[in-house]
Amino acid sequence: MKHSAIDLAAELARFRTDLPVEAAATPPSSWYTHPDVLARETETVFRRSWQYACPTDRVAAPKSYVRVDVAGDSYLVLRDRNGTLRALSNVCRHHAAQLLEGAGCVEQLVCPYHGWTYDLDGSLRSARDMGALADFDRQRFSLPQVPVEVWGPLVFLHPGRPARSVAEELAPLAALLAPTDTPELRHVHRRRYPIQCNWKVFIDNYLDGGYHVAHLHHGLAGQLEMGAYATQLFERFNVQTCPSARAAEFHGRDFRARIGGGALYAWIHPNLMLNRYGDILDTNWVVPLGVDRCEVVFDYWFSASEGEDARRFIEASLEASDDVQQEDVAICESVQRGVSSRSYDTGRYARSEGGMYQFHRLLAEELRR
């Protein structure tokens, strides 16, 4: 699609961050449709924040790796021979071929192009027929590394220089999610949803304080006590909580078997959500793929994952999660078409949408710096 030029600074300045939510207007539609805004986000938001990388389980063993692409750069999160977790650049220092795809287990990193070989600590071990070159110091051709941190069942990496550790940034959330530290929580499944919408449309949908649940998710609404839905704001994240409805059913069972006493939905700026209910933890990790495209990655952990009963429970639970997700995908794609139409520019926040306003304010602050 061809986009007309915009005055980026002026478009960013149009959004007011100094009002109470009852008086504020949402960001202009250009924030959701113009590639200049996405380029600025890449630079000032994604490259300057901790980014979810993968479940800790997937890089538990020495020599295991997962490729993660963040904000235009490709990384390998891996555990080296000594058990040290690293996030290395996935780009060969010779002519820039990418070293590995997907995930797996490797002895060393061998470039598919001309065969330069790196150790799992990133050092260049061999470079075929390069011995006679002038001024070629192998030591200076290691793969660059970025900060990486394990936070309970999740691994994060930071594409830049973090001001604080994940543990510091999310300390109050760790307390709220404390049960996720239980060793029984095991990663059992990953599902990806490609969606034709700007990444923020999906986040906004998540942060409306339950406003859309009763209207869009009839199945889910009957299982939650929507009157008690609450949102709590913290510095760089927020938490929505809702108890389960007393008479709720889930596949012929008391729904509390699935969500326990209730659900906790945590959003971590900018693009990660953690959902905690019953014996389950899952992510909604929103990866921008273009100004009007994103992919949402769901990783699922269950605390009981062995045996026939657990298997059936997991299957039914994943199915219920997918039903809700399909409804969200359809509405997010509808919103993207809407913000792209000339008739729409800005909207207003419902009173329950304070979490969404918090997201837009943090974003505005970062986009303007």
Which residues make up the interface to ligand FES (CB under 6 A)?
A: 92, 94-95, 97, 111, 113-116
> Residue with structure tokens 């298997």?
311
Element (H, E) at 335: helix 308-339
- First and final CA of the chain: distance in angstroms? 28
The answer to whether 41 contacts Fe ion (rule: CB under 5 A) is: no
Name every residue whose Cβ is closer than 8 Å to that of residue 218 and which is 6 or more positions away in sequence. Answer: none
Q: Cα separation of 166 and 237, whole Å?
A: 12
- Comparison of 64 and 238: residue with beta carbon closer to Fe ion: 238
Alpha helices per DSSP H over 79-185:
166-169, 171-176
Residue 365 has which token pair?
Answer: 């602050």
Q: From the list Fe ion, ligand FES, none, which binds 94 (C-beta under 5 to 8 Å, kind-based)?
A: ligand FES
Q: From the list Fe ion, ligand FES, none, which binds 234 (C-beta under 5 to 8 Å, kind-based)?
A: none
**Binding residue for Fe ion (CB under 5 A) from 41, 279, 299, 328?**
328
Strand residues in 173-328 grouped as ranges (E)? 186-195, 230-233, 237-243, 249-250, 253-254, 262-268, 272-277, 280-290, 293-302
- Comparison of 109 and 259: residue with beta carbon closer to ligand FES: 109
- Comparison of 141 and 344: residue with beta carbon closer to ligand FES: 141
> Residue with structure tokens 């949803």?
193
Binding window for Fe ion (CB under 5 A); candidates: 42-50, 101-109, 186-194, 324-332: 324-332
Q: How far is the CB of 323 from ligand FES (least distance, A)?
A: 45
Q: How far is the CB of 299 from Fe ion (least distance, A)?
A: 18
**CA within 13 Å, CB half, 180:** 24
Give the nearest residue (CB) to Fe ion. Answer: 328
Q: How far is the CB of 210 from Fe ion (least distance, A)?
A: 9
| Count of Cβ atoms closer than 10 Å to residue 155 Cβ | 23
Q: From the list Fe ion, ligand FES, none, which binds 136 (C-beta under 5 to 8 Å, kind-based)?
A: none
Contact yes or no for 58/103 (Cβ under 8 A): yes
Q: How far is the CB of 101 from ligand FES (least distance, A)?
A: 14
Q: From the list Fe ion, ligand FES, none, which binds 328 (C-beta under 5 to 8 Å, kind-based)?
A: Fe ion
Q: How far is the CB of 204 from Fe ion (least distance, A)?
A: 11
Q: From the list ligand FES, Fe ion, none, which binds 111 (C-beta under 5 to 8 Å, kind-based)?
A: ligand FES
Q: Cα separation of 218 and 107, whole Å?
A: 50
Rounded to a whole number of angstroms, the CA Rg of the chain reads 22
- Comparison of 92 and 294: residue with beta carbon closer to ligand FES: 92
Q: How far is the CB of 96 from ligand FES (least distance, A)?
A: 6
Q: How far is the CB of 324 from Fe ion (least distance, A)?
A: 6
- Comparison of 112 and 261: residue with beta carbon closer to ligand FES: 112
- Ramachandran region, residue 178 (left: φ > 0; alpha: ψ -120 to 50; beta: rest): alpha
- Comparison of 116 and 199: residue with beta carbon closer to ligand FES: 116
Cis link prior to 270 (omega < 30° from 0)?
A: yes
- Comparison of 38 and 143: residue with beta carbon closer to ligand FES: 143
Interface contacts to Fe ion, rule CB under 5 A: 328
